[in-house]
Structure 1
Amino acid sequence: MTDTIHLKAQLQACRSKEDTFKTLVTLSKTLPRLSAEEKIEDNKVKGCESAVWLIIEENHGLHHFKADSDAKLMRGVLVAILSLVEGKTLADIQQMDLKAELAELNLSSYLTSSRTNGVLAILEKIQVPKQ
């Protein structure tokens, strides 16, 4: 998993929409693919323009995430999101302003209204997991 500080520096260094796109596509390659068995309806995030799957596992109070998408750009966005929350407690994750954290990563030009809805659905699933 890419660490937040390195990822933030990478994305903030982008000077154009094309740079950001290339960086997100490069980041997308670092996200391990989910197996067909993991790409089930229960793991699918509702409200995303592209297909997105998110698996949340808790181990000793720490949350670990696996995610995948059929869209390269969204996979890059998932790397950015997961770098913010990986290995944290639910209480820590719920106290974070994830929207503000993502805004600092220079992604606004890629978050079209429909993509933003998908990202918000992902953030909600991360911050308010099913019991």
Structure 2
Amino acid sequence: MTLPSAAQQALDAFAACPGWEQRARLLMQWGERLQPLTEAERSDSNRVHGCESQVWLVGEKHDDRWRFRAASDARLIRGLLAVLLARVDGLSHAELAALDLADWFAQLGLARQLSPSRSNGLNAVLQRMRELASG
């Protein structure tokens, strides 16, 4: 399966980082690129439960392909959301269902830095994406 272009960009950018500090800085920069959600979109119905930080997720379907936007109150989480969104951008429901989140973060060189709670939170976000896509 070919990667969405944003995911390939993420892979290239993170692969070029020699160490964790550079990756952490890059993660923060990616987080700044998230499209902001409106106050209305930051509603309880869009809130992802299972995350320690507050995370909101909005999904829209265009021709059987999904586009998601997300926001968080935590900087590091925004960065992690940004690289997750890059990976899922334009996927179909079946592709979303088959996505291996741990593998994606391992490819980016970020797996070791994912604490169990962050990992659980990102899995909750992916689960919510799958629910939206199947609904």
Alignment partner of 1:116 out of 111, 116, 119: 119
Deviation track 1:40-96 (CA, whole Å, cap 9, x = no partner) reads: 111111111111101111122111101001111111111110111111211122122
Q: Which residue of 2 aligns with 1:75?
A: 78
User: In the alignment, is residue 15 of structure 1 matched against residue 18 of structure 2?
Assistant: yes
Cα 1:86–1:98 shift into 2, 3 Å: same
Q: Distance in 2 between matches of 1:2 and 1:42?
A: 30
Is residue 89 of structure 1 aligned with residue 92 of structure 2? yes
1:14-53 aligned within 5 A: 14-53=17-56
Unpaired runs of 5+ residues, structure 1, are none
1:35 Cα offset (Å): 1.0
Please identify which structure carries the higher helix content. Answer: 2
Moved over 3 A (4+): none
**Percent sequence identity over matched residues?**
32
RMSD: 1.7
Q: Is the CA contact 1:31–1:75 (under 8 Å) kept in the aligned structure 2?
A: yes
Following the alignment from structure 2 to structure 1, what is the Cα–Cα distance between the partners of residues 98 and 20? 30
TM-score where L is the length of structure 2: 0.88
Q: How many residues align?
A: 131
Report the residue type matching 1:65 in the other structure. Answer: F
TM-score norm. by structure 1 comes to 0.91
3-state secondary structure, aligned to 1:128: helix
